Structure 1
């Protein structure tokens, strides 16, 4: 339900809920929100925190009205920071105001990208990001200066700087090389290890930004390193970061969510319980539904996966096209008798996908583009079925890194891929489908320790490169997976050749940006290993693929 700011203020009047929620968590959260609202006009920290909460809501809902309210509130918080800076008598007060100003700038930039779709908005947002980055650099220099002396509340200022510097360094370091060169040209630079160190130090102190540093680290270890990397997040570190919060807030929704996510990426799917009990932000439930959908996908429980995809399609505004595609994908894995129990059909749902496309920040979602391309096979009068659509989308979200932790899950997925291969018919998509199944079977075999067989399947994709008609993304991803396999075997020189080939020799294919993020992460991994691995000569086929 949409809420204007006035409605939010009326909703938070204490007389309306004090008696009903006196001893509940809901009462506590509303009381905190009310306190922030009351002081948001005269305190820069209250204003920033209040605006940050509204921005989180806007980011989760993508509701234009929420985005507008959050943007206006953040603009007011920035104005209060500016005023505080002008009125500051002491140097440390000015520094506090400066770090709040930089944080407001960064968050306003994010809202600018969401709010408007035109190029002017993107330029304005880019300028805000650059100004914020420069302020954080200058404040970090102040901290390192010998002339700087600590005073009261020094920790809160230092925590704010560590949050900003750490976030910028971490995010910039993850960018693909070609994007990284562009941002470095305009004055940005990033170092992953330094960024993680800054956030780690910021999370360890009892400061206002410790929680945000902690959440950013948890997001990196449990999500970003999987979706935009090779799945090398530090799960042990994530557990250590989370434990103090779980102990203090055992029923806290966000902490239970991360606890569930950690169990999920460890492969302990039977212990995952991440449905939130809170009711204020329904969008938080949608994040839980999304993770549960994938948990049941990993276990090949197609009906339960369909159930959560259906919930998302009815309640979430993020990507109706993706949800419809996933519902159709799960139905495609069921027998004809099982499908009779559903009101919707696989073909009908696949045909709906293109009409549900939307734009966020002026851009179509890459996952939606991918789903629409795959669903085209169902638009003709005689649709040609996709071989195993949930397992293909699972690769896009790096799910094989998750099931690779559990032998039975991986063996089950390999069996399903064998069954899909047995059902393949000779069509114009035959080579594409064979190559897709080869890539996915190679991943399963790699995680099962059958490295030679896995390598055979990856090179099979490269052998058929010229015959692939539609799914051109398979070739650079086969090179990427082959390169990661070589890294595991210590064949670093060969791995780098394969990864560089994947990076430079292919473009304009599905999910290209995500593949480049993963290639960048793999190359960083190769650099960390150095070139001390045992180098084995390439076969003629491998050499051809790496050229």
Structure 2
């Protein structure tokens, strides 16, 4: 079924029994196509119309997973509560459709002998509908645990819910092993490479679970990964990516998928979204396995089939950001807003990206507009949204703006919230900056540019904007700081301005490797620009010993200098600076200058680890 032409909804029998559960697959595929092409409410209503009693395996489970996604996007307490109820019910429906549990004596014997009750053997004797129920049991277990973690108020609740993730991964490992065995036997019979008797809807779900599990576990630190692998869990990124690619029949960026749209499994769209998230979003904290060209191929193919698909329009925006095409990215995000009006919470994702992208091209009035939308409506992080409004107002200037910004800064520390008992790092950062604003009697240096840097907006600012807009702003701020050396916070101000100066010069000399070339005559000036960047970072490292509050600046200077030196070909020196960040050692000469972690420490360590990982490859 092509998403461009839905046609008539599939006919669903009014009579239902667990044995006929798979007869509903065309219906849930229809609902999924509606959802992926931004007809979310139509998708929900269709599910409710064909399963008013909420008893059908695929319809009920699918509807509950839609509610889970809606709640995660809005983060509204009521949405989370309703989603949790639907997911719990969907999970129970999956449990009811599973094969009967084997007798207790057989299960005990299964620990010793490989009989019919052990994993793969038990799956062999199940009906196809029962195997699908096992798959949906894993999917709803994941959704139930995810909602539980978000709603849990303390670490004890968090750990309790986290055990469900173990159950989910174990089930996917079991299903994956079953597929491997069946495919190997088909190959041995000369009928391979895969067992054609296993439907693509089941196969796509298993490979999605196994692939995503491998991908997620691959981000664990090596020491921790070595421990979990003892218990049979794998964190092989290459395997994870291949599993996700196989679902759609993807191979290389310059080739069409070997599996047509019509023959794709039910979870194909989700697998492609996972791949796009990895290559376009998670790529900010890793290099290994990232393939931007492959992401572009997957994206273009999906946009042909889902031209109004908000998820793919958002991915298009991310791709354009990576290419440093901020203006085009803004067009994609605006198109994502226009694509649907049914899930207002999806607009908030676009507004967030629009706020950052407009900062990148220094359209602060436009950025302000989207921060204000978020502040007024969204609930994910009121502290960050309010801070975005405040820094844009401060940077735009004017007494009226300053008064409003000051009022917001007073409020921000009280807006910080916790997930699973832990504060969100970015919220802790903006809270600290808001308190600093109060301590300095209503003053911050380059607040909007600093926020853009923290949100990675500066990383993808067009070179023309960096040279003709951002650098002049930094130079103006430097002159102001130098003229007020006796002012409170001098060392923090001068170090921040120098850091941002160095970042500007670094990205002029060495733009992101995926950025579209911006012909402003950088070539001949590259050595000079790189030298200025190095001098700025070295000055921050020298003066950073005097930092009072913003200790993160010193550590970021080490990171930025490391990236710069690697780009200049001085790899050993660059590695040394990156390793300083990853080591966790204090870089301040005096241990008494900082208490606890510096702002956004975990995020910076992730970036530095990824940079070292790239050197290893």
Partner of residue 274, structure 2: 216
Hey, what's the Cα distance between the residues in 1 that align with 2:350 and 2:443? 30
Q: Secondary structure at the residue paired with 2:396?
A: coil
Change (3 A) 1:74 1:264: same
Partner of residue 345, structure 2: 283
Partner of residue 238, structure 2: 193
Partner of residue 407, structure 1: 463
- Does the CA contact (< 8 Å) of 2:40 and 2:343 recur in 1? no
Hey, what's the Cα distance between the residues in 2 that align with 1:181 and 1:457? 40
Among 411, 424, 429, the alignment partner of 1:352 is: 411
Q: Secondary structure at the residue paired with 2:341?
A: coil
Q: In the alignment, is residue 68 of structure 1 matched against residue 75 of structure 2?
A: no
Hey, what's the Cα distance between the residues in 2 that align with 1:178 and 1:63? 37
Deviation at 1:230, TM superposition (A): 7.0
Hey, what's the Cα distance between the residues in 1 that align with 2:538 and 2:175? 51
Gaps of 5+ in 1: 1-23, 529-547
Hey, what's the Cα distance between the residues in 2 that align with 1:498 and 1:165? 37
Change (3 A) 1:168 1:452: farther
Among 515, 520, 528, the alignment partner of 2:604 is: 515
- Does the CA contact (< 8 Å) of 2:393 and 2:402 recur in 1? no
Hey, what's the Cα distance between the residues in 2 that align with 1:184 and 1:509? 32
Change (3 A) 1:168 1:491: farther
Gaps of 5+ in 2: 1-33, 101-122, 187-193, 250-258, 510-528, 587-595
Hey, what's the Cα distance between the residues in 2 that align with 1:174 and 1:252? 29
Partner of residue 455, structure 2: 397
Partner of residue 366, structure 1: 425
- Does the CA contact (< 8 Å) of 2:394 and 2:402 recur in 1? no
Deviation at 1:267, TM superposition (A): 2.2
Hey, what's the Cα distance between the residues in 1 that align with 2:290 and 2:88? 35
1:362-381 per-position Cα deviation (integer Å, ceiling 9, x unaligned): 3222111101111112324x
- Does the CA contact (< 8 Å) of 1:231 and 1:401 recur in 2? no
- Does the CA contact (< 8 Å) of 2:60 and 2:90 recur in 1? yes
Among 127, 141, 145, the alignment partner of 1:109 is: 145
Partner of residue 515, structure 2: none
Q: In the alignment, is residue 430 of structure 1 matched against residue 490 of structure 2?
A: yes
1:402-441 per-position Cα deviation (integer Å, ceiling 9, x unaligned): 11xx220221222221122122132332112222222222
Deviation at 1:183, TM superposition (A): 5.4
Partner of residue 372, structure 2: 310
Partner of residue 361, structure 2: 299
Q: CA RMSD in A?
A: 2.7
Hey, what's the Cα distance between the residues in 1 that align with 2:479 and 2:177? 63
Stretch moving more, 327-336 or 51-60:
327-336
1:310-335 per-position Cα deviation (integer Å, ceiling 9, x unaligned): 11111111111111111111111123
Hey, what's the Cα distance between the residues in 1 that align with 2:291 and 2:497? 30
Mapping for residues 171-210 of structure 1, pairs under 5 Å? 171-176=216-221, 188-204=233-249, 205=259, 206-210=264-268
Deviation at 1:479, TM superposition (A): 1.9
1:208-235 per-position Cα deviation (integer Å, ceiling 9, x unaligned): 1111111112222222222x44799543
Partner of residue 94, structure 2: 81
Q: Greater RCO between the two (CA within 8 Å, min separation 6)?
A: 2
Deviation at 1:387, TM superposition (A): 1.0
Which of structures 1 and 2 has the bigger CA Rg? 2
Among 44, 47, 53, the alignment partner of 2:60 is: 47
Q: Secondary structure at the residue paired with 1:379?
A: helix
Stretch moving more, 366-375 or 39-48:
39-48
Deviation at 1:186, TM superposition (A): 6.6
Hey, what's the Cα distance between the residues in 2 that align with 1:240 and 1:27? 21
Hey, what's the Cα distance between the residues in 2 that align with 1:134 and 1:492? 42
- Does the CA contact (< 8 Å) of 2:41 and 2:342 recur in 1? no
1:28-84 per-position Cα deviation (integer Å, ceiling 9, x unaligned): 644432332343834322222211110011101112222222222222222222222
* TM-score, L = length of structure 1: 0.84
Partner of residue 179, structure 2: 143
- Does the CA contact (< 8 Å) of 1:176 and 1:520 recur in 2? no
- Does the CA contact (< 8 Å) of 2:327 and 2:361 recur in 1? no
Change (3 A) 1:28 1:61: closer
Change (3 A) 1:304 1:351: same
Partner of residue 446, structure 1: 506
Hey, what's the Cα distance between the residues in 1 that align with 2:323 and 2:178? 41
Partner of residue 164, structure 1: 209
Hey, what's the Cα distance between the residues in 1 that align with 2:231 and 2:465? 46
